[in-house]
Structure 1
Amino acid sequence: MLGLPKSTELSKQLPKNAIYAKFQMNTAEKAKIDADISRITIVNEVTAAKIHIADGELVKSFFVLLVALKRKDFEDKTIITISKLIPQNMLLVLEFDGEAKLATYHTKLMQTEWKPQEDLSIELKGLNMDAVWENIIVQIGGIMIAQGNTLDEQIAVDEQKAKLQKEISRLEKLARAEKQPKKKFDLVLKMKELKKELERI
């Protein structure tokens, strides 16, 4: 799967009941996972030895989980819950009706677009497992790391930019609809300030 080396392949069912029992989930939490997920299978374990590169300081391995969904418009929270419950680096293949997308949780949930399942792949790039895992997050999140930034810094910058862009769009709509010249002027002024801030980031 995903074009990963054969040596990494596994096929190990991860029963939902085992997750519920281990993490003592209540009925409401179980119901949320049940509404979105039909089954979870561990399909790859990628370790430094299996792909013949150096161990990382932080990352020694990661798992690929195939998550069969019951609906395409699943709740992001369900996937975040699964990611947080299992204390491993995990790359999730979310699959529904022949289509699939990649997802991983790193400070927030990152996902690719839906594609035919057979078209999904991931590139293992890096001199050690830390770099390989960071590059996977970059590929899934579509992150362009600016020179001098760490991955986490870049994610924070991108989130700040997205918030500003959202606010600028909101103010543009309000300004277009505003009839009173003074209020319209104030909105345009605020918009210009935010645009300047966006350029500074």
Structure 2
Amino acid sequence: MMIGLPKTTEFNKRIPKQKFYENINVTPALRRIFIDQIKVVYWRNKIAPSTVNLEAGQNVTEIEVFEVKLNSVPLDVSVLRQMDKEIPYHIVFLLEYEGKYQAWTAYKEKAGSGNNTFKVDTYYHTDWLPENELSLKLDGLNMDAVYENYVRQIAGDALKSTAAGEPESLKESIERDKRQQALQKQIDALQKKIRREKQLNRQMEMNKELKRLKKELADL
């Protein structure tokens, strides 16, 4: 497999795509996206202490690798979110379209103690790459660390360390990235307002606010 996992992890089982949308709660619109956009789903690998020499994690028990062959791009992310909801483990998705691949994963954490429900947060993905150029390293001593490293590898620059270079947890990195994205949206919207504003005093007020937002973004 392209991401260089040991043979012991190989599963290679085809999953009928209707398994993900036969749930009564799936909307007709989402069902239609599954039918139109997805060609076939393979469960390629199972990464777990039983298949690789890794210690169990506190939060991550298994990581599944799903290859999803597409009929069209871009894929509606609600499809991946539905798969993540149906599978009570952490998932790395390898999307394939016309011979190119993208790796996707979401920050996913248990929604409560003692159950198998997960809260699925932000999705990250690589660029579209030829199969031989998509590389993900199995890195870490336990399942939690391996999962964190997969998320960081797939997210790339989006989850790089803080401006101050201080260590932070994966959850802290995700929250910081979300804050950066929100600030960037505010900055873009404010810049458009400034360009349309005719009154000089209003322009000056908005420029002051723009400078503050830009500083806050730079400091994150």
TM-score by length of 1: 0.91
Q: Which whole-Å CA distance do the structure 1 matches of 2:189 and 2:4 have between them?
A: 42
Q: Which runs of 4+ in 1 moved over 4 A?
A: none
Q: Equivalences for 1:1-201 in 2 at 5 Å? A: 1=1, 2-21=3-22, 23-24=23-24, 25-106=26-107, 107-142=121-156, 143-146=159-162, 147-201=166-220
Contact 2:20 2:82 in 1 (8 A): no
Q: 1:131-183, CA deviations, whole angstroms, 9 ceiling, x for partnerless residues?
A: 11111111111212442421111111111112112222332233234332122
Tell which deviates more after alignment, 176-185 or 62-71: 176-185
**Could you list the runs of 5+ residues in structure 2 that have no partner in the other structure?**
108-120
Q: Which whole-Å CA distance do the structure 1 matches of 2:49 and 2:9 have between them?
A: 10
What is the DSSP-based 3-state SS (H/G/I as helix, E as strand, rest coil) of the residue aligned with 1:56?
coil
- For residue 28 of structure 1, report the CA deviation from its aligned partner: 3.2
> What is the letter of the counterpart of residue 144 of structure 1?
K
Change in CA separation of 1:125 and 1:184 when aligned onto 2, cut-off 3 Å = same
- For residue 78 of structure 1, report the CA deviation from its aligned partner: 1.6
Q: Which whole-Å CA distance do the structure 2 matches of 1:60 and 1:150 have between them?
A: 18
Tell which deviates more after alignment, 9-18 or 26-35: 26-35
Q: 1:21-68, CA deviations, whole angstroms, 9 ceiling, x for partnerless residues?
A: 3x2335333112112211100011111232212121222221100001
What is the DSSP-based 3-state SS (H/G/I as helix, E as strand, rest coil) of the residue aligned with 1:154?
helix
Identity, in percent, stands at 32
Tell which deviates more after alignment, 181-190 or 46-55: 46-55
Q: Which whole-Å CA distance do the structure 2 matches of 1:156 and 1:26 have between them?
A: 30
Number of corresponding residues: 200
The residue aligned with 2:115 is none
**Could you list the runs of 5+ residues in structure 1 that have no partner in the other structure?**
none
Contact 1:83 1:104 in 2 (8 A): no
> What is the letter of the counterpart of residue 112 of structure 1?
T
* RMSD value, Cα: 1.8
- For residue 20 of structure 1, report the CA deviation from its aligned partner: 3.0
TM-score by length of 2: 0.83
